[in-house]
Amino acid sequence: MLSFEQARHVVEEHASSLFPHGEERVGLLESIGRVLAEPLVADRNFPPFPRATRDGYAVRAADLNPLPATLAVIGEIKAGAELSLRVGSGQTAAIMTGAPAPAGADAVVMVEYTSRQGNRVEVSRGVAVGENIVPRGAEAKQGERLLAAGIRLDAAAIALASSVGKSHLLVYIKPRVAVLATGDELVDVDVSPGPQQIRNSNSYSLAAQIRAAGGEPVLLPIAPDEPERLRELIDEGRKTNLLLLSGGVSAGRYDLVEQVLGDMKAEFLFTGVEIQPGRPMVFGRLPGSAAEFPRGRDPDSRYFFGLPGNPVSTMVTFELFAKPVVRALAGMTPTKLVFLRARLKSEVKTKTGLQRFLPAVLSGEFDQAEVELVPWHGSGDMAATARANCYLVLTPAQERIMAGEWVPVLLR
Ligand code: AMP
Ligand code: MG
C-alpha cells in the first residue's frame, strides 16, 4: 500500500517513458484542443515593422526640446498603410495604433499631448526615444521557436499559430484508451434495469475524462464477474494504448480483476493507495506478445489501471493517477498536480490515516476563494459529485479542520 505521493510518483515516472503513436496534419480549426506535434516558428519578424502602440504623432524625440514644440505635419499613417513616408527634422506624421512608424521618426507622442492647427501641430510634452513604438522583431525574430511540441492547442496557441500563417498543423494521434466496466449487477444505459441491477455509469464518466485528457475512449462490453469472459475482454482491451478497468479490485470473493490480470502475467506496479475514495486501485502492465523482452523493456507491453467500481472512486482515481498516463500517450509535456488553496467555509471532521478527496464547491470572487463540502452519502453518490466543482483535499494527519482555515483544493 503506497501513500498518495508515492503512488503519484510511480505513475509520473512510468508516464514519462510513454510517447504518442503518430502524427497527423489537420486544419487550424480542427486542431483546437489537440496536442501540437511540431514547434511553432516565427515565419517573419514580430512585429514585422516598428509598430505604433498609440494614436498620436510620429516624431523625432530630439525635436521636442524646448517645449512646447511646433512641427510640420507631412501626412497621416493608418494601420495597413505602406511604408513610404519619411519624417525629417521639424516634421511629424499623424499615426494610428498598429500603423508602421515612418522612417526618420523614433517615438510617438500621444494625441492627448498635441493640438493641431491645419498642417501644424503643437506638442506640449516630450517623449523618450522609442516611446510608444515596438521595434521590428522585438517580440520575436524570424526563425525563432515560439512554442515547442507537446502543448494542448488552446485559444492563445491557436492565435499564435494563425499569426505565423499555419492554416494546417501537425498534431499527435489521440491514444485509444479501452474502458472495461466489470460487475454482474451492471446493465448498459439503454437497458431497463431489474430491481437488483445497476446502470453502468463508470464507462461514461471515464469516457468523458479520457476525452478531456486528450484520448479517444473505446468502450468495451460490460464484463461479468467471471474469469473466462473477463480475460477475453482484457485481451480485447490490450489492443489499444491503455486499458482502464472499473470494479472488481476490492477484496471480495468475486473481485476477480487482480487475479485474472495476474494469471495473464501482469506486473503490478502498485496495489492499493492510502487515499479515500479509491484505496483498492491497482496499476500495472501486461506483457506484449514478445516474451523475450525483459520486464519493463517490452515495447508491446500495455499499462492498465484497475480502478475501484464506486462511481466517485472511479472518477477520483482517474483524475489522480490515470490522467497523467493518458496525457503522456497523447504527447503532452508532463505537468505536476497543482492544488489551489481556499478558505474552508464550515468545520470538517474526518477520520485520519488516508488522504481524502471529497466533492466540494469552490465559490467566492476575486481573492475570496471559499470551499465547502457537498453533503454526500459516500463514494457511490454521483449526484453530490455532479453538483460539486472540485475536490477538497484532507491530509492523512488531520482530524478536524476549523472554518476559516486554508485548505488544498483540486480543481476538476
Ligand atoms: P466494486 O468495486 O466492483 O466492488 O463495486 C463497488 C460499487 O460500485 C458497487 O456498489 C457497484 O455496484 C458499483 N459499480 C461498480 N461498477 C460500476 C459501474 N460501471 N457503474 C456504476 N456503478 C458501478
Ligand atoms: Mg464488482
**pLDDT tens-digit series, residues 266-275:** 999 999 999 9
CA distances from 318 to 3, 125, 223 (A): 16, 61, 19
**pLDDT tens-digit series, residues 389-407:** 999 999 999 889 999 999 9
The predicted pLDDT at position 295 comes to 62
The predicted pLDDT at position 350 comes to 87
The predicted pLDDT at position 65 comes to 96
Mean pLDDT, residues 72-98 taken together: 96
Ligand nearest to the CA of 252: 1
Q: Which of 185, 189, 196, 198 to mutate to test the pocket of ligand 1 (most atoms within 8 A of CB)?
A: 198
**pLDDT tens-digit series, residues 178-203:** 999 999 999 999 999 999 999 999 99
Q: Which residues of 39-67 are buried (b: 16+ CB within 10 A; e: fewer)?
A: ebebeebbbeebbbebbbbbbbbebbeee
**pLDDT tens-digit series, residues 351-381:** 878 999 999 999 998 889 999 999 999 999 9
Closest CA to 148 of 13, 35, 274: 35
What is the pTM (predicted TM-score) of this model? 0.94
197 lines ligand 1 (CB under 6 A): no
Range in 20-24, 75-79, 285-289, 407-411 the model is least confident about: 285-289
Is the pLDDT at 130 greater than 90, yes or no?
A: yes
324 lines ligand 1 (CB under 6 A): no
**pLDDT tens-digit series, residues 82-92:** 988 999 999 99
Q: Rounded distance, CA 366 to CA 56, Å? A: 36
Length of the chain: 412
Neighbour tally for 137: CB within 10 Å:
17
Q: Rounded distance, CA 226 to CA 248, Å? A: 10
250 lines ligand 1 (CB under 6 A): yes
Query: What's the CA angle centered on 217, arms 160 and 338, to 5 degrees?
Result: 55
The predicted pLDDT at position 291 comes to 57
Q: Rounded distance, CA 32 to CA 36, Å? A: 10
The predicted pLDDT at position 83 comes to 82
Q: Which of 179, 180, 186, 189 to mutate to test the pocket of ligand 1 (most atoms within 8 A of CB)?
A: 186
The predicted pLDDT at position 288 comes to 85
Helix (H) and strand (E) counts in the chain: 8, 28
The two beta strands, 267-271 and 282-286, are antiparallel
Q: Rounded distance, CA 333 to CA 150, Å? A: 5
Closest CA to 262 of 279, 278, 284, 290: 284
**pLDDT tens-digit series, residues 280-304:** 999 999 998 655 666 666 778 999 9
**pLDDT tens-digit series, residues 302-349:** 999 999 999 999 999 999 999 999 999 999 999 999 999 999 999 999
